[in-house]
Amino acid sequence: MMAEGNRRGSVRISDRVLLAAKRVAPERYQAVAADYENGISLYNQEGLADIQMYVGAEGALSRLKERDADLAEFLRYLDNKLNLVLKRGQGERTPFDELKLQKVNLSGSGIAFVADEEFRERELLEIHLVLLPAYTYIYCFGTVVGCERVGLKGQEKPAYRLGVEFTLITDDDQEKLVQHNFKQQSLALRNRRLGGS
């Protein structure tokens, strides 16, 4: 009999999220994993402050929009303008510059998505994932468990569907994924019932 935690973590949904995933050297992965085992947060990595600040601001604006849409829109405009000025001044790319809105298949234990390059099985990936509409940021690592070439309509370049198993993710982030998936699943069921009546 499957354990309750495994059942909850295996609930899969199709969704659109902001995603950036890139190869990571085994040495870096081992260093981050060793830090994590010694009590150092995954989020205490160089370069993550910018993306946490950006996603945090977007999440706050999203919540504010429910109470005061005009104020939220004005603050989002100011935030975007400030980000643009900072980006031009610094002239360097940050992880959130790599985030792309992308359709994925998601569970508490892994993610599947289409990439524009081929990966080998067991390659390690560093993953930045933002769940919408709440702008919940998740930083984790995964291992490629499958990669197959796919043809997308209107796309000349080859594309590859990746299956990735999360191998280094906090318990809190895994729970956030599970809760997000249940919420999206409930919303889809409710919308289907409303559409059928």
Q: What ranges do the domains of the chain cover?
A: 10-196
Residue 197 has pLDDT above 70, yes or no: no
**Model confidence pLDDT, tens digit, residues 173-189:** 999 999 999 998 888 77
Output the pTM of the full model.
0.77
- The 10s digit of each residue's pLDDT in 60-79 is 767 777 888 777 677 766 77
Q: What is the pLDDT of residues 70-108, one digit of tens each?
A: 776 777 667 766 666 666 566 666 666 788 999 999 999
Task: Bin 60: left if φ > 0, else alpha if -120 < ψ < 50, else beta.
Answer: alpha
